[in-house]
Structure 1
Amino acid sequence: MVSALNCFGLAIGCVDIIGALFFELMIIFMLCQRKGHRTTTEEEQSTDVTTFRGNRVSARLLWIYLFILNVWIAISMLMLAGIILHKPQLMLVWLIWCFGGMIFDVVLFFYGSWSYCRAMSLRR
């Protein structure tokens, strides 16, 4: 018999995996749209990928993000296995990963917003 809490955890795990796969498909699409090497003087420009807003993102960063998404899928599968097999140790790995991601996102958000505001104030 599966409790409501276990079903909720399974739903969270499945949504995590579906979301990560969706973002992976977006990244693969952006990488496939990358044009071939142009004959420019800067090698760095030929490895950039143009996003849907026209910003340029390094293809290396997209590959790193793709790797992190695959790790996220593996961690989510560990959580699902922990729920199905009634092994809370496996779910602890998922909770630690989520906590680390939350800390990273908060630090990145505050640093990003601080640097953006600083850049805007320097522009004036």
Structure 2
Amino acid sequence: MMDALHAFGLAIGWMDIAGVLVFEALMFFLMRRRRLTEPADIESGKDPIKPKRGSIPILMSRAKLSSAENNCIFWSYLAMLNVWIVVTLVMITGISLHKPELMIIWLIWCGCGLAFDVLFIFWWIYELFTGDAIEALTNIMISLLTMAIEFGFICVIYTIYRDLLTSSDQRKTERAKNMYFLI
């Protein structure tokens, strides 16, 4: 029997995995599309690295990175997303099997994700003053929304973790009492 809070935790986990898979498919599609359009840009004589006159440089502009650097970023990001799936599956297993220690990995992962979002917010605040203000503000708003959702998920999973921890302690106490009465 599972209560509503545990079911909500499982829903968070499965939606996390579904979101990561959709994001991975989107990344594959965009990289494939980019690979197909790259030779046309080179043949047209346009210089993708040369910035427009009077524009302020952006920190990690894709046009300034080589193809090998873009591929390296793509594959490392893809590896990180697959680790995310594994960590979420461990969290789902922890909820399903009532093993709270398995959920600690997910909580640490999300805590690191929050720290990463804070780092990106500072990065985009810097870009707000040196680069494209609209893009930087959009990225800041997306990061704040992501942080709020992630913080809510952390609170739910931590509550489930505490609930499972106390219920397993109660089961151990009951077993000890039963063993005492058998002696």
Please state which band the TM-score falls in when normalised by the shorter chain: 0.7 to 0.9
Q: When you count helix as a share of all residues, which structure comes out higher?
A: 2
Aligned to 1:102: 114
Whether 2:76 is the aligned partner of 1:76: answer no
Matched, 1:18 2:18: yes
Instruction: Give the distance between the partners of 2:132 and 2:79, measured in 1 at CA.
Output: 32
Considering only CA atoms, is the larger Rg found in Structure 1 or Structure 2? 2
- Listed one character per residue, the Cα deviations across residues 3-46 of structure 1 (whole Å, up to 9, x for unaligned) are 111101000000000000000001111222213874x6xxxx7x
Q: Which structure 2 residue ranges, 5 or more long, are not aligned? A: 43-47, 49-61, 134-183
C-alpha distance after superposition, 1:49-101 (max 9, x if no partner) = xxxxxx64722211111111101000000000000010111111000000001
- Tell me which residue corresponds to 2:98: 86
CA shift for structure 1 position 118: 2.8
- Superposed CA RMSD: 2.4
Give 1 or 2: higher strand fraction: 1
The match for 1:112 is: 124
Structure 1 CA distance for aligned equivalents of residues 36 and 98 of structure 2: 48
SS in 2 for 1:86: coil
Q: TM-score, normalised by structure 2?
A: 0.53
**Secondary structure, aligned partner of 1:90:** helix
**Could you tell me how far apart the structure 1 residues matched to 2:29 and 2:102 are?**
33
% identity of equivalent residues: 41
Q: So what's the TM-score if we normalise by structure 1?
A: 0.76
Q: 5 Å matches for 1:41-56?
A: 56=63
Distance in structure 2 (CA, Å) of the matches to 1:37 and 1:96:
39
Q: Counterparts of 1:105 and 1:87 in 2: how far apart (Å)?
A: 29
* Higher relative contact order, chain-length normalized (CA < 8 Å, sep 6+): 2
Task: Call closer, same or farther: CA 1:91–1:119 in 2, change over 3 Å.
Answer: same
Task: List structure 1 runs of 4+ shifted beyond 4 angstroms.
Answer: none
SS at structure 1 position matched to 2:98: coil
- What secondary structure does 2:36 align onto? coil
Alpha-carbon distance, 1:108 to partner: 1.1
The offset of 1:114, in angstroms, is 1.4
Q: What code does the residue aligned with 2:112 have?
A: G
- Verify: 1:61 aligned to 2:73, yes or no: yes
